[in-house]
Every structure is written in structure tokens, then in C-alpha cells.
Amino acid sequence: MASAVLSGSLIGFALLPLTAASVFHGLGYFYPMLLMVFVQTTLLGRIFPILCHWGIKADDGSGSRVSKVYLASILGSVAGTLVTGFVLMDYLSIQAIVLLLGVLGLAAALAIALPTLGSTGPRLRYAIGCTLVAAVMTSVANPAFDGVYEALTYKAPLKAGEEFVDTVENKSGVINVSRNTVVFGSGVYDGMIATDMLDDQNLLIRPISLSLFHPDPQDVLMIGLGTGAWAQIVVNHPSVKHLTVVEINPGYLGIIQRYPAVASLLANPKVEIVIDDGRRWLNRHPDLQFDAIVQNTTWFYRPNVTNLLSKEYMALVAHHLRDGGILMYNTTGSARAQRTGCETFKSGFREINVMVVSNRTLRLDPERLRASLIDYRIDGRPVFDVSDPRYRASLDALMALLTPPIEGQRASDDSAALETCASIRARTAAMALITDDNMGEEWRFLLQNDPALDQLHRLFGL
């Protein structure tokens, strides 16, 4: 039994580093990790029957005693999960937790082995061996875990600029920032830490266009803080007087404060940041209403995203909009998410990949937008410095892109920058709405992102 605990602990410590190595050598991550998990669970799975065989006498009460061992095993598993997930992960990194569990496993193996070794000599040698292994694990932990998150995120060999230079880990998730300031939340692209409209790789054209849809957005709610770029843009809108941000992961605050492009957001007196689940916060504050609610919603196929895309959620949001208020939410390209917004609200437009919807008929005003963009300032600097030909050209290009569509015109696809709800309804007529019950397209996440599982799906027709 001691050998099973010892070997299982060593494999548990090596699992993530070996997975990263297999990715960087072009072997992928799914099958190597699956193999190691199978071996580890097989080794540790031997412990229970051995423990029952050694510790339980085969008599009329054996069944009762086995059930007590089962109960102890279940309670230990639950307690370990709760302590690790709700306590340790707020204070220790994954590397530290894996190292701690590995050392505790060695200690458990030593405690099991010592009574069976008899004389002092074998006991001393076993103790020294476990101590040396623990020391080696501690000394190699840093280089062994270097690159683990890059491997699990990219699932491919690294390219220049993709190395992670900043990481925040807590029970809400893992946030990584690459050298080129791309942010990944729990392994998925979150955006970039950038607010420069001259090279708008972050597609900030979307939040900065609020004035195209609303004449005077003064009080704004944002669901999700993320990189802080959208919040920095919205709170510096010339009309905005107060921005409430509801973010579920406090780790983003630690990231934002370290990057000058968005750091001033945390000291802005117009900003109020609340750590909570967005939908729960809306339910708990039924009387609050806003001129605009903005959410850079995560990818439509991720787990739990239906909570922010369903018809029921949008009905909840509609209750929190003032007369003429707008909801701007990222559909990340989901036609079903676009249709759901159009069917829930009276009026709306798709702008690139976000939907802007309202309970009132939206009147797009390009001149109002141009005036607000010229007035825009972030940290005292103009966002569009019209004295600079480059920014003047960028402003003209933005305005040309956001030319309102002709009334009644239907797009044949979603390639146009702006599209009416009438066109979206026609284009998505055969699609079902996203509801809390059907969960949108969440269940296709693994098939879309893991070729191995997709092959199994096609093979067995699951």
C-alpha cells in the first residue's frame, strides 16, 4: 500500500509538467494526460481494497466495517476538495498545491511503510529516501512548472510574444497575461490590455460607440471587468457620470493595477466595482436602473455563459433599463445569441459581433457619435487627437465603418459592420432562441476545442 501511495504521489506531481512537455513536443495534451490520470487513479485505487483486506476481519460485522471505511473515504474526499478549492486556491498557486500534496503523499507513504519494515536500518533508509525525494521535488518545482499554463492554454508550441509574464490564481479561476498583453481567463482569450484607437486590435470600436445608439448615457452598468479596457473606455465617455462594474473574479483587479493603460480605472471616482455574480447582483437589486448596460460577454460556447445570454436573462436586464436605455452585449459570433436579443427587445442592431438592443426604437446618430469621439479623453489625453493625421484618418475610418444600414435592407450574411434586427431575424429564422433550459451551445465546447474528442464523437455518433 505504501508503494501505491508513493508512486501515485509522484505521478500526481509530474502530471502537469509532463503534459506541458508533451504539448511543446507536438504530442498534444489530451491522450498523454488521460494516460497519466489512468495510471495514477489505478495505483491509488488499489489502496481501498488493500486497506479493507488488512484492516477488516472477515466475520458477520465485516459489511458494517467496510461501510464505515467507505464513509471515511467519502468524507475525506469531500473535505479535501472543499479545503483545496475554497481555501488553498486563494492563498497558494497550483504549483504550490501540487507540491504540498506530493509531500503529504510522501509523508503518508512513510507513515504506512515504517510499521512494516521491522528493524531500524530499513526504516531509516526509507525515511531518508522519502526526504530526499521531497527535497528533489521542491528544488525542481519551479523549472518543472514553467510553461504549464502556456501549454494548457495554447495547446501548441509557443510563438514569440506568447509567453506568460503575469499570472493570478484564485478559487475563481486563473488569469494569465502574455508578453504582448493578451489576457486569458481560465485558459480562454479575454482581450488585450490596450486602449489605443490607432491600432484597435481590441475592437474598442464597440464600447466607444455608445453615443451612436444612446443620446446621453450617464449611469452605466458593466457586467464583467476583464482586462479593464472596456471599462476604461466606457467610464471616460464624455456623458458618463457613474459606472458600476460587477465582476465575479477579484483577480482582475490585481492585473489591472499593474498596467498603465488601465490602472487609473481603479482610482477613478466615477467607478464602483462590486465582486459578485452579475445575474445574482441584478436579482438582488431589482429597483436599480441604468441608461446603458454593457457586457463583453465571454465566448458563447463556454460553460455557464447561458446565464448571460438567455432570453430569461435579457428579460431581467430589460427591467433594469431606463426608458430608452440600451443593452450592449458581445455575441462572440453566435447567431442564436443575436436572434435571442432581437426577439426579446423591441429594437436592435448588430455592431460587428455585439448586439445593441432596447425596449424603444433605436435611432442611430453618426454626428452625435463623431462629436463624442472628438471630446473623448482618457487620463487627460484625447482618444482621437484630430490634430494628428493618423488619428484623423482612424476616426474617419471608424465613422465610415459604422454608417447606418439602409432601412429595410437585408444582409445576406453577418459580414456587414451594422445589421438591423429585421435582417437578423430573416437570416436566423430556423434557429431556436437561447433559454435557461436549452443552454444555447454550451455543450459543444469540448467538441469545438478538442480534436480528439471530436473524433470520438464522429466515430461513435454520440
Nearest to 17 by CA among 98, 93, 132, 136: 98
Taking the C-alpha atoms of residue 337 and residue 435, their distance in angstroms, rounded to an integer, is: 10
pLDDT tens-place string over residues 44-90:
888 888 888 878 888 888 888 888 888 988 999 899 999 999 999 99
Taking the C-alpha atoms of residue 155 and residue 22, their distance in angstroms, rounded to an integer, is: 10
Q: What is the pLDDT of residue 24?
A: 87
The neighbouring-strand residues paired with 184 are 176, 189
pLDDT tens-place string over residues 118-153:
788 888 888 999 999 999 999 999 999 999 999 989
Domain locations along the chain: 2-152, 153-191, 196-446
Copy the grid coordinates of residue 450: 478538442
Copy the grid coordinates of residue 331: 455575441
List all residues 6 or more positions away from 204 whose beta carbon is below 8 Å from its beta carbon: 194, 195, 197, 229, 230, 233
- Cβ atoms of residues 259 and 253 within 8 Å: no
pLDDT tens-place string over residues 29-42:
888 888 999 998 88
pLDDT tens-place string over residues 370-429:
999 999 999 999 999 999 999 999 999 999 999 988 665 665 556 789 999 999 999 999
Q: Is pLDDT of 222 > 80? A: yes
> CA Rg, the chain, in Å?
27
- Cβ atoms of residues 392 and 382 within 8 Å: no
Q: Is pLDDT of 448 > 80? A: no
List all residues 6 or more positions away from 82 whose beta carbon is below 8 Å from its beta carbon: none
Using a 10 angstrom Cβ sphere, with 0-12 exposed, 13-18 middle and 19 or more buried, the burial of residue 158 is middle
As a whole number, mean pLDDT of residues 293-302 equals 93
Q: What's the pTM?
A: 0.86
- Cβ atoms of residues 399 and 370 within 8 Å: yes
| pLDDT band at residue 223 under the 50/70/90 scheme | very high
SS (H, E, C) 31-62: HHHHHHHHHHHHHHHCHHHHHHHHHCCCCCCH
Taking the C-alpha atoms of residue 182 and residue 192, their distance in angstroms, rounded to an integer, is: 4
Sign of CA dihedral 160, 165, 169, 172: negative
Q: What is the pLDDT of residue 405?
A: 85
Residue type at position 188? V
Which CATH code is given to the segment(s) 196-446? 3.40.50.150
Taking the C-alpha atoms of residue 14 and residue 144, their distance in angstroms, rounded to an integer, is: 8
